[in-house]
């Protein structure tokens, strides 16, 4: 008789596999730079940057020449004596004849000078420099696109390795029952207690499990090989964690809003912008001119030596200028059309991919829910069959084998659907957005913080949010005293009085927090304002600015405060606690305190965490620590009206920390010098000027826009 196998054995086997020491996905993702694709992308980026650095200068050229000439001068003949010898027999006398020949001359000329292009070639040189710079900027988007593609391939392989190993364990567990089952079935067949076809059908299920084992082993081996090719690491499929991808906040609206921030879209948009910029000048070139200044020295043998200075203007015009210009204009228009169609195609691909990934992920979730119900039902069927077989000794094992096979098939189908769902979630992450790390991808103390971040809302201010170019047209605002207006007026009237805004960093004092921490009019008005702002596409983030919170002994106070207002629908948490705001004696404790504080707050709060920093405190080491501690964004408070300098500094910071959102704070404070503040400009001109700062940085994928210090002072400056 077939001996019943408790279902507990199967469950414990799975538990052993699932709880083995795991190699986290985060550890593997940190090594995608070892892949050939990423090394190639790095090399292409380095080459583009080198080409930009080696771009031609302004076209001024130093030239020189030297020449040696030899000849005869007919105006100064020389005379030669020639003996005229008569033929023999004609006479015996000789006659001397004087003949005039040109004089021999040699001339050496040396020249040195400079040539300044006036038009044509000068414009071409400048255009080449601009194109090299644009190509380097665009290549950074290609590099980010390559990173997203490699990460997607790694996540696919990780999920395949994990679920193939689980499939292998299931098949091995079921196939292990085959020997006992065969003996029992053979005995019943010999006693003619079962038909041959049923005997063969039941035994074939164990052969099928053997085939499944071979298939699962091959898939796991292939996936592990792919992981090694990408990361350079040997991993054991049995040691991997279950893949958990942070996509719970990714909706169609959020992904559509982030379309322009996707690096592939940004690349094609940059190409189209460059083609559009170059179009007006494409049909006006062809004519070249230059100004030359030269000094010559002359040494002439047998003549006069000396020197001369010359100024010359040269102009060259192609013989077929009209045809040349027409052809170049047609080429530029064709390239622009090609770039615009490529951009439109990539946008359509993105939107179609979003819809398809969300739809197929939804189908996979529904199917998985159904299969899990079926798996649970089949597990219960196994339990009942085991009980019946134990009570009725005369019954055969056929029913139990059938139930075990049904459970095996249901569990295997659920595992494959889990794999399909994980791959669809990897597709969603391929659009460059996520909802923060998860516990499965961050070991140790960071795991708790990651699990809390997985429950946060979408990073950023709301529907109009765009990381990168998407949100650069409207600034964000530090609002230190806006709550007084919110508490006294209807949300619509408060919003109507605001300048264009994408984000509002709303400060609350301790007294304000006391008023809103319990149900009442203050809390209701604040919630109504946040909801109304969200409907208008404005995110409202909680701004806290007590500098003493940077000290270790005050961390618990901040955490307690956040717990009291944690259910209000803010879109983010922003800490403005700069080092310089602390007493001098305490400033040395600031950096260690900030590192510990961000780690604790990130783990305790559901809100994306941002931090304002003075440029001198935005060191590479601290920014890496903040990113590792779960900080979503750092705002660099670089107050300057000199746009090129600001853009260069910010670009270096953003390129050094591509996984950290970076925003720029500008000032409209009238007490600051004009070089540091837009406060003395008219409000409309100040907005335009700060918008230009944002445009200079919008090509960086991790740029989160401009924040203005502050809304209160801007409103006071309005007439």
* Digit-coded pLDDT (tens) for 349-395: 988 988 998 899 889 888 888 888 888 888 888 888 777 777 665 55
Query: Average of pLDDT values for 579-598?
Result: 89
> For residue 470, is pLDDT > 60?
no
Q: Which residues have C-beta within 8 Å of that of residue 249, sequence separation ≥ 6?
A: 435, 456, 457, 458
- Please return the burial class of 527, using the count of CB atoms within 10 Å of its CB with bins 0-12, 13-18 and 19+: middle
Report pLDDT digits (tens) over 90-118: 555 555 555 555 666 788 888 999 988 88
Check residue 73 and give its pLDDT.
62
Query: Average of pLDDT values for 414-437?
Result: 85
> For residue 496, is pLDDT > 70?
yes
Helix runs in 313-397, H state only: 321-391
Angle at 477 between CA 476 and CA 483, to 5 degrees: 130
Q: Is the peptide bond before 710 cis (omega within 30 degrees of 0)?
A: yes
Main-chain phi, psi angles of 640, to 5 degrees:
-165, 140
Percent of the chain with pLDDT over 90: 19
Q: Decide if 385 is inside a domain.
A: no
Report pLDDT digits (tens) over 527-568: 999 989 988 889 999 999 888 899 988 998 888 888 888 778
Q: Is 650 helix (H, G, I), strand (E, B) or coil?
A: helix
Q: Decide if 561 is inside a domain.
A: yes
Q: Which residues have C-beta within 8 Å of that of residue 437, sequence separation ≥ 6?
A: 26, 246, 446, 450, 453, 454, 630
What is the bridge-based pairing of β-strands 306-316 and 288-301? antiparallel
Main-chain phi, psi angles of 622, to 5 degrees:
-70, -40
Q: How many other C-beta atoms lie within 10 A of the C-beta of residue 571?
A: 24
Q: Decide if 582 is inside a domain.
A: yes
Place 590 in a pLDDT band, splitting at 50, 70 and 90: very high
Q: Decide if 322 is inside a domain.
A: no
Check residue 498 and give its pLDDT.
92
Q: Is 497 helix (H, G, I), strand (E, B) or coil?
A: coil
Task: Give me the residues paired with residue 507 across strands.
Answer: 543
Token digits for 555?
């961390």
Q: Which range has the top average pLDDT, 256-260, 392-396, 686-690?
A: 686-690
CA–CA distance, 141 with 505 (Å, rounded to integer): 29
Check residue 13 and give its pLDDT.
34
- The predicted model scores a pTM of 0.51
Token digits for 219?
């898939």
Q: What is the residue range of 633's domain?
A: 480-638+649-668+695-717
DSSP state of 547: G
Place 195 in a pLDDT band, splitting at 50, 70 and 90: confident
Domain total for the chain?
1
**Higher per-residue pLDDT: 609 or 10:** 609
DSSP state of 509: -
At 706, which CATH number? 3.20.20.80
Task: Give me the residues paired with residue 417 across strands.
Answer: none
Angle at 680 between CA 678 and CA 684, to 5 degrees: 70
State the distance between the two ends of the chain, measured CA to CA, in whole angstroms: 96
Which strands sit side by side in the sheet containing 306-316, from one edge to the other? 61-85, 94-119, 288-301, 306-316
Check residue 96 and give its pLDDT.
53
Sign of the dihedral through C-alpha 165, 167, 171, 174? positive
**Of 592, 696, 602, 703, nearest to 657 (Cα)?**
703
Token digits for 457?
């809302």
**Higher per-residue pLDDT: 719 or 264:** 264
Q: Decide if 699 is inside a domain.
A: yes
- Residues 70 and 266 sit within 8 Å (Cβ to Cβ): no
**Of 658, 687, 694, nearest to 30 (Cα)?**
658
Token digits for 612?
């304002």
At which residue do the structure tokens 């006992």 appear?
A: 180
CA–CA distance, 378 with 412 (Å, rounded to integer): 12
> For residue 210, is pLDDT > 80?
yes
Q: Decide if 681 is inside a domain.
A: no
- The chain-wide mean pLDDT, for the chain, equals 80
Task: Give me the residues paired with residue 79 across strands.
Answer: 100
CA–CA distance, 347 with 123 (Å, rounded to integer): 34
CA–CA distance, 145 with 628 (Å, rounded to integer): 22
């Amino acid at each position: 008789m077939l001996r019943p196998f408790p279902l507990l054995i199967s469950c414990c086997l799975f538990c052993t596999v699932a709880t083995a020491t795991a190699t986290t996905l985060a550890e593997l993702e940190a090594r995608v730079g070892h892949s050939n694709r990423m090394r190639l992308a790095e090399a292409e980026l380095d080459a583009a940057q080198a080409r930009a650095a080696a771009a031609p200068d302004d076209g001024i050229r130093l030239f020189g020449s030297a020449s040696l000439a030899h000849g005869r001068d007919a105006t100064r003949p020389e005379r030669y004596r020639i003996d005229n010898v008569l033929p023999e027999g004609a006479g015996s006398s000789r006659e001397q004849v004087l003949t005039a020949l040109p004089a021999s001359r040699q001339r050496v000329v040396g020249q040195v000078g400079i040539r300044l292009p006036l038009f044509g070639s000068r414009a071409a040189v400048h255009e080449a420099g601009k194109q090299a710079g644009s190509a380097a900027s665009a290549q950074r988007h290609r590099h980010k696109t390559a990173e997203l593609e490699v990460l997607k391939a790694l996540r696919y392989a990780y999920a395949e390795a994990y679920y193939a190993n689980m499939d292998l364990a299931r098949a091995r567990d079921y196939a292990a029952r085959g020997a006992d089952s065969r003996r029992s079935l053979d005995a019943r067949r010999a006693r003619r207690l079962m038909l041959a076809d049923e005997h063969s059908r039941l035994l074939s299920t164990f052969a099928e499990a053997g085939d499944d084992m071979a298939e699962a082993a091959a898939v796991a081996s292939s996936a592990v090989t792919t992981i090694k090719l990408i990361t350079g690491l040997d991993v054991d499929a049995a040691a991997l964690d279950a893949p958990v991808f942070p996509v719970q906040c990714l909706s169609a609206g959020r992904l559509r809003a982030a379309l322009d921030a996707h690096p592939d879209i940004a690349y094609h948009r940059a190409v189209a912008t460059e083609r559009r910029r170059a179009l007006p000048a494409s049909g006006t070139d062809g004519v070249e001119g230059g100004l030359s200044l030269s000094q010559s020295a002359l040494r002439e043998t047998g003549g006069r030596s000396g020197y001369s200075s010359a100024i010359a203007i040269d102009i060259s015009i192609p013989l077929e200028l009209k045809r040349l210009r027409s052809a170049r204009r047609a080429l530029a228009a064709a390239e622009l059309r090609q770039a615009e169609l490529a951009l439109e195609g990539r946008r359509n691909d993105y939107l179609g991919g979003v819809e398809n990934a969300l739809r197929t992920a939804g189908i996979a979730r529904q199917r998985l829910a159904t299969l899990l119900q079926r798996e649970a039902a089949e597990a219960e069927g196994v339990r009942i069959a085991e009980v019946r077989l134990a009570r009725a000794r005369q019954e055969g094992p056929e029913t139990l084998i059938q139930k075990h096979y049904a459970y095996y098939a249901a569990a295997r189908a659920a595992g494959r659907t889990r794999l399909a769902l994980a791959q669809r979630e990897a597709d969603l992450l391929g659009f460059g957005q996520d909802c923060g790390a998860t516990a499965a991808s961050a070991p140790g103390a960071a795991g708790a913080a990651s699990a809390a971040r997985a429950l946060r809302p979408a990073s950023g201010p709301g529907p109009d949010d765009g990381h990168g170019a998407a949100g650069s047209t409207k600034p964000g605002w530090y609002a230190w005293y806006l709550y007084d207006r919110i508490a006294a007026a209807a949300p619509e009237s408060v919003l109507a009085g605001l300048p264009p805004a994408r984000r509002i960093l709303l400060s609350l004092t301790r007294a304000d927090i006391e008023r809103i921490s319990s149900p009442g009019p203050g809390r209701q008005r604040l919630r109504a304002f946040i909801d109304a702002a969200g409907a208008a596409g404005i995110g409202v983030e909680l701004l806290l600015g007590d500098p003493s919170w940077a000290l270790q002994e005050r961390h618990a106070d901040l955490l307690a405060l956040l717990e009291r207002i944690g259910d209000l629908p803010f879109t983010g948490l922003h800490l403005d606690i700069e080092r310089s705001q602390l007493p001098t004696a305490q400033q040395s404790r600031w950096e260690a305190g900030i590192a510990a504080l961000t780690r604790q707050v990130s783990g305790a709060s559901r809100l994306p965490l941002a931090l304002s920093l003075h440029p001198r405190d935005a060191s590479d080491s601290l920014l890496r620590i903040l990113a590792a501690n779960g900080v979503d964004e750092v705002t660099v408070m670089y107050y300057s009206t000199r746009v090129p300098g600001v853009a260069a500094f910010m670009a270096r910071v953003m390129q050094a920390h591509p996984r950290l959102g970076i925003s720029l704070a500008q000032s409209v404070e009238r007490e600051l010098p004009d070089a540091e503040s837009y406060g003395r400009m008219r409000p409309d001109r100040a907005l335009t000027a700060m918008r230009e700062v944002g445009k200079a940085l919008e090509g960086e994928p991790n740029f989160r826009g401009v924040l203005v210090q502050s809304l209160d002072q801007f409103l006071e400056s309005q007439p």
